[in-house]
């Protein structure tokens, strides 16, 4: 196969590599094929808005046995790989024509984690040093990679990721017998945190991780508890979630046998976790603010609505005098609308949410929780 045919297959297989979620609107990742067949993914850029990024694997061969992944070692699958110099040249050739903002490099595990990291790092080095590319490069850290490999990857990257996969060793051990949770996942995450800490040489590098939701029998409460620790103790910049794609994994894992009467419940569960994450990162919610029923977030109501209904003593909120944090607790009001309210009341009194430019359906949702005075 030529480079384009090889990368077409590897970019297709990257959809199974649960390494980043590139969008949650309408519960899809919005990936699309380019004119040459490569998979392109929209991503949020640091300055706001979105751009399109090429995401591909270096190889779909894998020595690991991750039971949720169709590329695991014991599967009968056409294994191919691309050389670093070929991938770098391909990206440079298409980036302007496709309007790409960057490249997401991932890979199956070829022999050993460090051998695989070498190929990822070589690709990034060619782009940086040969082609003088100064744009966005995201490298996925292979579980079990050495500290030296991790640091080299960080030195060349705009962002790095290492998937935590599950909340805790019990769930992790149900999904892999080869990987060790502390050695291959937790310790490298801690090292990433120290490398990119505020004031360090690599503080500019964003670090993210992701949970695979539903491959094991973990609860939402377990995930949210770990989420809180990842933000507070390891200073992760972003946490992602991917609903387990049933039918792709080993039929012995819990995700293949746990049933739900709602056909799209797994997607709604992922959506609720993203909403929870957003409330933590943007609204100032704490771990204690979330309610769980038998460990699960509500599928019927978003977690902010659940909080509001459980705290009637907090309402109504006064539009004229409430501070930003108080307004952010009102269902229907997000950071943009709260900023608009605060700006509007500096110009005069607000008698109603309808006095300012707020979508009617959001104003209707929030109106029962606020009063003008």
For the chain, the C-alpha Rg in angstroms (whole number) is 22
> Alpha helices, DSSP H only, in 143-186?
147-156, 169-175
Q: Give the pLDDT score at 260.
A: 67
Q: Kindly state the helix (H) or strand (E) to which residue 43 belongs, with its residue range.
A: strand 39-44
**Domains of the chain, with CATH numbers?**
3-303 (3.20.20.70), 311-371 (1.10.150)
Q: Give the pLDDT score at 21.
A: 43
Rounded Cα distance between 274 and 298, Å, is 13
Contacts 24+ apart (CB under 8 A), 344-353: 345/319, 345/320, 349/320, 350/319, 350/320, 353/319
Q: Cis omega (within 30 of 0) on the bond before 60?
A: no
Q: Which candidate, 180, 102, 178, places its Cα nearest to that of 134?
A: 102
Q: Give the pLDDT score at 264.
A: 81
* CB-based contact 280:297 (threshold 8 Å): no
Residue 138, beta-bridge partner list: 104, 159
One digit per residue, pLDDT tens: the chain, 373 residues? 677 778 777 776 676 654 444 443 443 444 555 555 454 555 544 444 567 788 889 999 999 999 998 888 888 878 899 999 999 999 999 888 878 889 999 999 999 999 999 999 999 999 999 999 999 999 999 999 999 999 999 999 999 999 999 999 999 999 999 999 999 999 999 999 999 999 999 999 999 999 999 999 999 999 999 999 999 999 999 999 999 888 888 899 999 987 666 768 888 999 999 999 999 999 999 999 999 999 999 999 999 999 999 999 999 999 989 999 999 999 999 999 999 999 988 888 788 888 888 888 999 999 999 998 7
Rounded Cα distance between 186 and 180, Å, is 9
0.75 surpassed by pTM:
yes
CA distances for 320 relative to 345, 361, 366, angstroms? 7, 21, 15
* CB-based contact 310:362 (threshold 8 Å): no
């Amino acid at each position: 196969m030529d480079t384009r045919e090889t990368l077409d297959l590897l970019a297709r297989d990257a959809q199974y590599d649960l390494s980043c979620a590139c969008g949650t609107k309408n519960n899809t990742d919005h990936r699309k094929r380019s004119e040459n067949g490569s998979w392109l993914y929209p991503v949020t850029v640091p300055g706001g808005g979105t751009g399109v990024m090429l995401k591909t694997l270096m190889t779909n061969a894998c020595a690991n046995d991750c039971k949720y992944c169709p590329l695991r070692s014991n599967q009968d699958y056409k294994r191919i790989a691309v050389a670093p110099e070929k991938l770098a040249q391909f990206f440079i050739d298409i980036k302007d024509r496709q309007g790409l903002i960057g490249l997401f490099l991932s890979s199956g595990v070829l022999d050993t984690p460090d051998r695989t990291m070498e190929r990822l790092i070589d690709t990034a080095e060619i782009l940086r040093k040969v082609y003088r590319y100064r744009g966005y490069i995201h490298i996925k850290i292979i579980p079990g990679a050495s500290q030296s490999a991790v640091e080299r990857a960080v030195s060349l990257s705009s962002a790095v990721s290492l998937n935590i996969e599950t909340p805790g060793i019990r769930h992790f051990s149900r999904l892999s017998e080869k990987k060790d949770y502390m050695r291959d996942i937790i310790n490298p995450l801690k090292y990433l945190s120290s490398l990119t800490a505020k004031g360090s040489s690599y503080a500019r590098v964003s670090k993210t991780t992701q949970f695979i939701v539903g491959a094991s029998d973990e609860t939402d409460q377990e995930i949210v508890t770990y989420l809180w620790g990842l933000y507070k103790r390891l200073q992760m910049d972003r946490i992602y979630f991917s609903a387990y794609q049933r039918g792709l994994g080993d039929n012995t894992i819990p995700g293949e046998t746990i049933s739900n009467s709602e056909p799209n419940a797994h997607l709604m569960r992922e959506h609720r976790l993203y909403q929870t994450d957003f409330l933590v990162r943007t609204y100032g919610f704490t771990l204690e603010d979330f309610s769980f029923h038998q460990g699960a977030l509500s599928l019927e109501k978003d977690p902010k609505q659940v909080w509001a209904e459980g705290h009637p003593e907090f309402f109504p909120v006064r539009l004229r005098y409430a501070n930003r944090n108080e307004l952010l607790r009102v269902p229907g009001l997000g950071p943009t609308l709260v900023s608009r309210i605060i700006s509007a009341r500096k110009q005069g009194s607000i008698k109603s949410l309808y006095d300012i430019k707020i979508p009617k359906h959001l104003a209707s949702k929030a109106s029962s929780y606020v009063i003008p005075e």
